[in-house]
Structure 1
C-alpha cells in the first residue's frame, strides 16, 4: 500500500472511530435537565439484561436468615480478652476461635467436625485442614514439596503466655526445622506472627513458604451464605455457591505484583495494590478482614473455591521464605533448578479485624482498611473544599513520539507546547476549567525514544522556552502541569546508566532484560531492550531531575511504573530486598513532594499513597477469573475523599458508555489522551495502537461526558463512600458521607428506586444541598 493510500485509510478509520465513540457513548438523544439530578444523557437501549449478571458487575444480595454462632468446645481455653473480642485456643490441635462480643459470633481456624465428616477429603487434605500451619519446603535434592503441621510430624516444644495471647514453639520433626507462632489480641484485632528470629533449620530440607491458620473463616460448600473478598484490581468477590463449574486453579496473587527478579515469568498475576483479603458469613452480619503486615512484600494472597482440592472455600496469606530459580550454565539454556540459600530476613504477621452488622461486607472492609491506613499516617485528607468546584479532568497530552526511518529514529511532534495551549484554551471555552495537564513525551527523543525521559526538553515541541511559556500560561489559569517520567525501566540507548552496575539483577545474577516493543508492527522496534533500574540509581536520577524541573518552573511530576512495579535486586554490590526497594521509592516520592507542588502516580501501590496527591489509571474492574462472581469498588472506597483518582483514558475504552457509568458508580474522575496532530502520524511509531487521539475529533464527546460526570460527582469530591447497595442486576446506589446518594442504572430499561425513576443507561442524584 502506498504512503498516500495508507494515510487515507488511517484518516477514514479515525473519522469512523470518533463518530462511533460519540454515538456509542451517548446515543442520539439529549434531554433537558430533569429533577433530582437526573442525567440529561439517554443512551442506547438495545442491550438485554444478561451482561449485568456477569462477574463484571456486582450481584444483588440474597436475603438470608441469621447465621448461627458456633459453640466453643470445652477443650478450648481462653488466652486473651479485649473490649470487643475473646480469644480461645485448643491445647492439642492449636486451633483458635475468636468471639466477637458485640455480635456473639464465633470465628474458627478449623471447620466444624460435621463439615469435616461430610467433606470429600483425601488423607493429605484431612491433615492439612486440621493443621495450624501449611508449609512448602525444598527437599535434599532441591525439589519443592509441601506439607502441614500434622503431616510433617509437628510437635510443640514449648508454650508460654504472652500479653493477651500465647507463644508456641513448634518443631517439624520430619524436616528438622522449627519456628515460633505468636497468637494474641492487639486491642480489638487478632494478630498472628512468626518472628524471623524464631525460625531454624538443622537438616537438608529448607523452608520455602508458610501459611499460618489458613482456614480462618473457611466455609463448606454453601452451608453459610457469604463470600470471599480478594484484592484483584479494583476488588472481586467469590460467592459461596453449591452449583458451579469445575475450577482448575486457585486465585494466587503476589501482593504488589510480580517480582521479576525472584518470581518466574509464568507466575505473573494481575494488579494487587493492597495487602488485604476477607471473608463474609452472612452479608451485613459477620465479616473478617485480613491485613498482611510484616512480610507483605514477599507474600501472596491465596483463595480456593469449593470444588478445587476440597469442598471448602478458604483464603489465606502465603508468606515466602525462599525463592526457587533456574541457574543457567551455558548460552544454549543449559542449567539446573535450585533455590536461594539465604532465607528472607523479615518477620511475618497478619492482622484480623472482625466486623459485624452493617460493616460486614466489602464496603465495611474498605472502610476498615481506610481507617487502618489513616491511623498509620499512610492516608491523609487534604484540607480543601473541593465539592464547591467542578471535578478535575486528566488532560493527557502526547508531545513527541519516536519514529523509525531510514536514518534511524526521529521524533514525530504530535502536540507542541503552543498546540497544547490551543487544546487547553478550547476546552476552557467548552466549560472545562479544572484540568490536570500531563505531558507525555516532553523529553528529547519523545515518549518512547528514551526511558527514563532525559533532559533537555525536545526542541521540536518548542524546547525549554516553549515549556516555560506553557507552564506560565497554565499557572495563570490555576491548572497544574505534570511531566511524566519512569524511573523503573531504561532502554539500552539511555545515556544515564551503566547497565552492568545500574541494572537490576535476578537471583541467577542475570540482568533483568526484556523486549519492550515486541508487540509492535514495525520490526525497527522489536529488538529494543529494556532493563529494570536499581532503586538506588533511580533515586539519584530523580533527585537530579528535580533540579532541572525547578529551573523550568514545572510544578508537577507524574510517576509512571515507579509506584507500581516492585522488584528485588540481587546485584552483590548493591542488593535491595523488595521491602528496601519500596522504601527507596517512598524516599524518591518524598523528595519530589518537597520540590514540586503536585505529585501524581499511575496505579500506585498503597505504600506510595502517603505521597500522592493524585493517582492516574486506577483500575475500575477485576480480572474476571472464572471463580470470581462479582467486581466491586474496594480500592475506590478506600481512597475516595482522600486522594483524587482517575480512570484510564476514555478514548482507549472499548465500551465508553459503560465505562462512563462505571466511573460515576465508582466515584472516579475522567481522563483523555489527546494529540493536536491526527493520530495516523503514529502509524510508524510504538504508539500505533492508539486510535482517535486528535482533539478536534474528541472535543464533543469529551465535553458531553465531562458535563455528565461533573453533574454526578461534583458534590461528593470531599466526601467518603459509606455504603453501596445493589438492589437489582445492573443497578447500584452509592451513599456518601455528606448524605448524597448516586444511583446508577446500567441496564436498558428504566428502574424505580425508592420512588425515584432512574432512566436506562443513566443516573440520578438524591440528597445533598
Structure 2
C-alpha cells in the first residue's frame, strides 16, 4: 500500500521574530555578472553597450502605467546566437525574438488579442502586470489573503539597469510597500527570470506568494490553430485551449514535489507533482518553463481561458508562507487559520523558459528540451541494457501482520528458501533478465517500521537472505532490499516519538493512520531518517544487497520539520535525501525509488510504479506521457504491478505505449494467506497463478521494447481516438489500439486491444 499522507491541525503556536531590515538590491558590476553567467552556462552572450543613463544612481524610479506597454519603446538589451531580448524601461516587460524565424514571445498579453479582453477591475490590471503577489496582514487574526499586482498597486520601477545579458530591476509596490528585486537573463535557447529572496523587502504586510511574468507566452483561444497548457500532473496532462474553457473560474494549482505536512493541506486524490516543469503551446509557438532553483517552494499555476480573462497562461507561483491552523483550545477543536511570520528564503528562485522551434513546439518538444537540460546539467546518462530482453521486476513479499484476537498475527508470505524456488521457477520458463526487490523482510514484516535489521528469522534470517542473494547473483540477478524509513511503530533504533518524531509548524508530532487497523504510526524526523539510513548501509552491504529500494519516503516525500532537535526546512530535507541516495549508490552500487521526485534523478537507477495517468480534473483534457518521454533511455521505470491492474488489458497496453517495463508483486504462499494484512493485503500474489501469463506478456514487452531500451522517445501522437503511436530513436514505432474494434488507416492495421511495431510509416 502506498503511504497516504494525513494532514493534522496544529496544537500550539510557534512565534518567531519577523525578518526586518533586508537591504535593497545593489548594483553589481557587469564584469562579475558576465563571468558568473559564463561559469554557469559555458555559453557567452553578446554584450551590448550599456548607456550611462541606465545606472542605478542616475535613473529615477518610474511609476507604473496601466495598459499594454508601448512596443515602439522597446530596445534590445542582449542577444545570443539564437535569440534577441527586448525590454521596456517603463514597465520592465520584455519580449524575446527568435532570430531564425522572427517568432516573438511576450511577457505581457498579445496586443492583437487584447481588444477582445472583457475582464474588468483588478484582474484586468493583474493581466497587464509583470508581477503579481498575494499577501496578508499578519497583525490581524481575521485578515484574509489578498491579491495585488504591481500595476494595480501603482507600483514603480527602482534601480533599472541593463546587464551584459539582460537587465535587473526592483519592483516597488508603493501601496503595500513590497520591494521585489529581479533579473532577466538571456542565454542561447532560453530566457531566465530570477528573484533574489534575501533582498526582498516587506512593510507591515506579509508576502504569501508571487508570480513573476505570469503571462509570458500567454495566448487566447484560436480556432485555426492547436493550443494547450502542459501541467506535470501524473505522467503529464494537457489543458487544451477552448472557447469559454473555464467560466466557473477553475484553475490548476499544485505544489512541486508534493505538499508539506508541516502545514495545512487540503486532502485530495490529486497526484503529487514530481517535476518542476510546465509548458504552453499555441500554434507553431511553444515554450517549456523549468524551475531550476528554489522549486521546492513553488507551485504550478495554470489558468485556462475563462478562469481569469480570455488568455490561457501557466506559470510558477513562488511560495513564501503557507497556511497553518492555530488552535485556541487544548484539544485543538477551535482556532483559526493563519500564516507563519518568517518567510521561506532561498538564495535565488530561477525559472528558465526554453523557447521551442516551430517544428518542436508540442509536448514532445517540451519533453525533449527538458531531457536535454537533465543530460547537460544533471549528468544523466544513457542506460546500459543487460541484454536484448527487457528487465522484469519482481517484488517478493516476505511477511506482514494482521489483527489477531489478542495480538497481531504474523503472515508468512515468502521465506528466503522459497524465494530461491520462485526465482528458479520463473527463470526456467525463459525469463532471465530479472531484478528482485525483497520487501517485508524485517522483524514482523512489511507493516513494522523501525529497527529493520536483522532479517526476521521466520523467513530465514540474515543467513537465509545471504544465501538467496548469493543464488540470485549466480544467475546474474540483482537483489534490492525494500526499506521504509519514514515511519516508526516499534521504538527501535533508539527512536522516541516525543524526541525524534516529525513535528508540524506548531510543534505537534505527526502520525500516519493505517487504514486497515486505524493504528497511528509516528512519522520520523527527516534528518533522523537520513542518518539512520546511512548507518544501516553497512548491514545491507554485509548481506550482499545490490542496492536499496526506497519506498514511501526518501526521494518521494518532502516535508519540513519543526522538531527542534532535527529542525529542517524543505531545502534542508531535499539536500539530506540527495546525500542519502548518493551514499547508498556509492556504497551498494544502485538505488531504486518509488514514484520519485525529480531532485532524486542524479542518483536513481530505476523508478518503480511511476505514475502513468493524471488526476482527472474536470478542465484537464487528456493525459500524455511527458515524464516517460523525458526518462526513457536514461532511467528505467515501471508502472503499476501487472497483477494489480484495475483494467488488465488497457493497463498492459498503457505500459507498452509509455515504454514501461513489466513488474509483479509475488508471494510463495497462497493468495488467501495475506487476506487482512495491514499493508500487503492484495488477494492475487501467488506467483504460481501468474507465471504463465507473465511469460506470455513478457514476450510482448520484448517485442515492443527489447531493442529500444537505450533509445530515447522522439515522437508521440494520436492517430485516431484511442490509437497512440510512440516513436523511438532509429525510427521504430509502437502503435497501440485501445479500442474494441480493429484500427486501419489504409496503410496499417492494428488489432483490437493490441499493438503493432514497425519502422516509421511501415507495419512490421
Tell me which interval the TM-score lies in, with the shorter structure as reference length. Answer: 0.7 to 0.9
Which residues of structure 1 form unaligned runs of 5+?
1-69
| Contact residue 528 and residue 566 of structure 2 kept, 8 A | no
How many pairs are equivalent?
687
| Shift, 1:226, TM fit | 1.1
**What secondary structure is seen at the aligned counterpart in 2 of 1:153?**
coil
| Shift, 1:591, TM fit | 1.1
| Shift, 1:689, TM fit | 4.4
Partner in structure 1 of residue 252 of structure 2: 251
| Shift, 1:713, TM fit | 0.7
Corresponding position: 1:643 with 2:635 = yes
Partner in structure 1 of residue 483 of structure 2: 485
- Deviation per CA, 1:246-279: give whole Å up to 9, x if none: 4453111100111111342447842211100010
Partner in structure 1 of residue 36 of structure 2: none
Aligned CA distance change for structure 1 residues 754 and 368 (closer, same or farther; 3 Å): farther
Following superposition of structure 1 onto structure 2, how do residues 385-400 of structure 1 map, counting pairs within 5 Å?
A: 385-386=385-386, 388-400=387-399
In 1, the alpha carbon distance for the partners of 2:269 and 2:504 equals 15
Among 689, 693, 713, the alignment partner of 1:701 is 693
Partner in structure 2 of residue 447 of structure 1: 446
- Deviation per CA, 1:489-544: give whole Å up to 9, x if none: 323654541222322211112122231x13x2xxxx21x22233222211221122
Following superposition of structure 1 onto structure 2, how do residues 488-527 of structure 1 map, counting pairs within 5 Å?
A: 488-491=486-489, 493-515=491-513, 517-518=514-515, 520=516, 525-526=517-518
| Shift, 1:453, TM fit | 5.8
Corresponding position: 1:328 with 2:320 = no
Aligned CA distance change for structure 1 residues 607 and 376 (closer, same or farther; 3 Å): same
Partner in structure 1 of residue 431 of structure 2: 432
Among 597, 616, 622, the alignment partner of 1:624 is 616
Following superposition of structure 1 onto structure 2, how do residues 396-411 of structure 1 map, counting pairs within 5 Å?
A: 396-411=395-410
| Shift, 1:564, TM fit | 0.6
Choose 736-745 or 688-697, whichever is displaced more: 688-697
Partner in structure 1 of residue 708 of structure 2: 716
Partner in structure 1 of residue 531 of structure 2: 540
Among 543, 547, 550, the alignment partner of 1:556 is 547
Partner in structure 2 of residue 291 of structure 1: 290
Partner in structure 2 of residue 601 of structure 1: 593
In 1, the alpha carbon distance for the partners of 2:222 and 2:520 equals 50
| Contact residue 593 and residue 599 of structure 1 kept, 8 A | yes
Partner in structure 1 of residue 569 of structure 2: 577
Aligned CA distance change for structure 1 residues 207 and 492 (closer, same or farther; 3 Å): farther
Partner in structure 2 of residue 309 of structure 1: 308
Partner in structure 2 of residue 28 of structure 1: none
- State the TM-score, normalized to the length of structure 1: 0.86
- Deviation per CA, 1:568-608: give whole Å up to 9, x if none: 11223332111111110111111111221332111111111
Aligned CA distance change for structure 1 residues 117 and 689 (closer, same or farther; 3 Å): farther
| Shift, 1:385, TM fit | 4.5
- Deviation per CA, 1:75-95: give whole Å up to 9, x if none: 222222111111112233332
In 1, the alpha carbon distance for the partners of 2:197 and 2:247 equals 39
| Shift, 1:407, TM fit | 3.3
| Shift, 1:245, TM fit | 6.4
| Shift, 1:225, TM fit | 2.7
Corresponding position: 1:146 with 2:144 = no
Choose 264-273 or 118-127, whichever is displaced more: 264-273
| Shift, 1:230, TM fit | 0.6
| Shift, 1:429, TM fit | 1.6
Following superposition of structure 1 onto structure 2, how do residues 333-348 of structure 1 map, counting pairs within 5 Å?
A: 333=332, 334-346=334-346, 347-348=348-349
| Contact residue 258 and residue 267 of structure 1 kept, 8 A | no
- Deviation per CA, 1:722-750: give whole Å up to 9, x if none: 11122211222211113222122222222
| Contact residue 280 and residue 288 of structure 1 kept, 8 A | yes
| Contact residue 453 and residue 486 of structure 1 kept, 8 A | no
Corresponding position: 1:88 with 2:70 = no
In 2, the alpha carbon distance for the partners of 1:320 and 1:212 equals 12
Following superposition of structure 1 onto structure 2, how do residues 225-304 of structure 1 map, counting pairs within 5 Å?
A: 225-242=226-243, 244=245, 246-247=247-248, 249-266=250-267, 269-282=270-283, 285-304=284-303
